[in-house]
Structure 1
């Protein structure tokens, strides 16, 4: 089984190595599979997302992505044959928490759907990384134009500082994670309260519930939420080989006024990966970001080993990264935050006083939440 997988993948890799990612000229049909997968060299950075393009949404003028669940997903080390299973977690497939790749290793992605259809990637080798020297944050009252509010909005520009190698042909991709401490760990809408780790209808007499829209529950212990980048930031060193570079790599909008810890990841990617993300950046910026399906199909390095005629969208990328963290404090900022926060509304009537609950647990460790203080938090 492994021999057939590797043989077919190698043949496909030879064919793909002479081509660039393309936006094929064909009508997108219901049921096309799209894959977004990244493998890197530090814990928590590797993931796989699988989508199926379903019906066309006339109002959005695009197809709608539906996450695919129930698949068997493996990372295959092409050199050793090691197979690392990725486990489904909230519509994302993740490897074990301690899994990391290493520079020089070659990996492939293997997917088996619930109906038995398989999808593989061509091999990807993790190239030598370019180290980040430092990062910094600069607050701006007008950082970018926001269509939702119809004006320029405030936020922090995050810059990466690094020394580009003298040799040509270095390609970069930046991602980030943001850690923010949570004050409220649960919100229950009207006529519900928090019991047994869930919001459920309360059994007290609801005849005089008042005007409260919800109940809030503070965190029983320290808890941090984790957010990830939703855009694409890439760079090729065609004209600045060997220079020290200071480059903006992320805009963090003033969505709230809580201090945050930002982790910038600087990936060294292949030329083929850069070409893919260059096209993806263009079409996703036209359609509203990575969470929106692109208006045109983009073929990467995924394929169906048993059906040469099936188009498979998306890409598996293996890339080494250097990362830096920076604590950003928001005291003294006068501009209004973009997203209104929840007012603290604790349990009151009609909940009887001796039955009231005021706190909720942080919840399980996930890709998006942790009760472990992040390294670098102040």
Structure 2
């Protein structure tokens, strides 16, 4: 009898639970700005998107905006979209560069609003002394997948002399160029009819060069290394399986960024690495340096980074890797990959 009453009570309690409809009345979308400007030629870009409400799984590209950079010293640089399908990217004309010591401001005018950044003064360049690399095994997410897998590869590190004068904050970017040898003779047709996938060899081409570039999430302060010669600072991991077909060229670029940029990217990376446990600090709003001119209370996501950078380059030949590495496989014409180059670059 007692069991019967308990069951009845549980059912009555369950029937009293009603679904809760959450109505969000705050800002439903945000302008998202990615902006990089440095003394390195052809590395400047601005990307504009709009984040959508939490129940929408995509961003919207912001096209047709007016984007330009001015400086206290009188410079003016316009950014243009190459095509209407540029995913919100805007680029500066070739040949322009940021000048250390100059102070720059980003301006963005959309169809309805005007935004600008706080002024950013470009610090002096901190030269890279050398690049080192050593064998390591690290979690890595390969292109086209979402799962982290522990993979063998090279960890790349840099040596540099930190200036004794003032505070310095560092961020890194990279340029990669892979020479690959693919297998177009093993191409398979997946749409040719009921008998497919079926072998459909292509006569060309197997030798190409694939470029890739990007910015690394790591940032660093010289709080503990001010004025010292820094040795073996790890910045970039590259698994052997990533296009290690024949030979690669890696150019690391070390940016001397502002303290505000350092704090922004440090907080961003800390939130990304949060495990979601009860001991993690609660997520907080990460404030950038971009605001709506007419409405400073509007939340704008992103940061305008203006920096001076130094480069160092190294080459790796696959045959020189003293470890067992699986053969690189790409069963197609190597020119099919986006931005593929089918002739040897100058100096290769």
Q: State the TM-score bracket (shorter-chain normalisation).
A: 0.7 to 0.9
Residue in structure 1 matched with residue 131 of structure 2 by the alignment = 135
- Distance of 1:376 and 1:370 partners within structure 2: 14
Of 113, 116, 119, the residue aligned with 1:117 is: 113
| Distance in 2 between residues matched to 1:371 and 1:343, nearest whole Å | 16
Question: 2:270 maps to what in 1?
Answer: 282
Give the drift of 1:277.
1.3
SS at the partner of 1:342? coil
Aligned to 1:252: 238
CA distance in 1, matches of 2:189, 2:46: 33
| Match among 45, 48, 60 for residue 47 of structure 1 | 45
How much is the aligned-residue C-alpha RMSD, in angstroms? 3.4
Q: In the alignment, which of 168, 180, 201 is matched to residue 178 of structure 2?
A: 180
Shift of the 27–179 alpha-carbon distance from structure 1 to 2, 3 Å rule, reads farther
Contact preservation (8 Å) 2:335, 2:341: no
Instruction: Find 1:236's aligned residue among 221, 234, 246.
Output: 221
Determine whether 1:102 maps to 2:88: no
Deviation (angstroms), 1:302: 0.5
Given the superposition, is the C-alpha separation of residues 217 and 106 from structure 1 closer, same or farther in structure 2, using an over 3 Å criterion? farther
Distance in 1 of aligned mates of 2:292 and 2:200: 48
Distance 1:212 1:243, change over 3 A: same
TM-score (norm 1): 0.70
Structure 1 window deviating more from structure 2 (125-134 vs 181-190): it is 181-190
> Which of the two has higher C-alpha Rg?
2
**Deviation of the 1:57 alpha carbon:** 4.6
Q: d(CA) in 1 for partners of 2:203 and 2:109?
A: 41
Q: Is the 8 A contact 1:182 1:219 kept in 2?
A: no
Q: Any idea what SS the aligned residue of 1:274 has?
A: helix
Question: What's the CA shift string for 1:334-377, capped at 9, x where partnerless?
Answer: 1448xx83324xxxxxxxxxxxxx785888xxxx5556755664
Inter-CA distance 94–216: structure 2 relative to 1 (3 Å threshold): farther
Judge conservation of contact 2:171–2:216 (CA < 8 Å) in 1. Answer: no
Q: Distance in 2 between matches of 1:320 and 1:27?
A: 42
Offset, 1:44: 2.2
Please show how residues 326-341 of structure 1 align to structure 2 within 5 Å.
326-331=314-319, 332=321, 333-336=323-326, 341=329
Give per-residue Cα distances to partners, 1:106-137, cap 9 Å, x unaligned.
22111122x23222111111111111011122
Q: Which structure 1 residue ranges, 5 or more long, are not aligned?
A: 1-25, 192-205, 288-294, 345-357
SS in 1 for 2:267: helix
Q: Does 1:35 align with 2:33?
A: yes
The 2-side partners of 1:359 and 1:155 are apart by 23
Partner in structure 1 of residue 286 of structure 2: 298
- Give 1:27 deviation, angstroms: 8.2
Alpha-carbon distance in structure 2 between the residues aligned to 1:96 and 1:371: 25
Q: Deviations over 1:296-345 (max 9, x none)?
A: 642211011122221111110100000011112222541448xx83324x
User: Which of 309, 334, 358 is 2:297 aligned to?
Assistant: 309
Equivalent position to 1:156, from 154, 157, 160: 154
TM (norm. structure 2) is 0.75
Q: What stretches of structure 2 of length at least 5 have no aligned partner? A: 1-23, 276-282
* Residue in 1 that maps onto 2:16: none
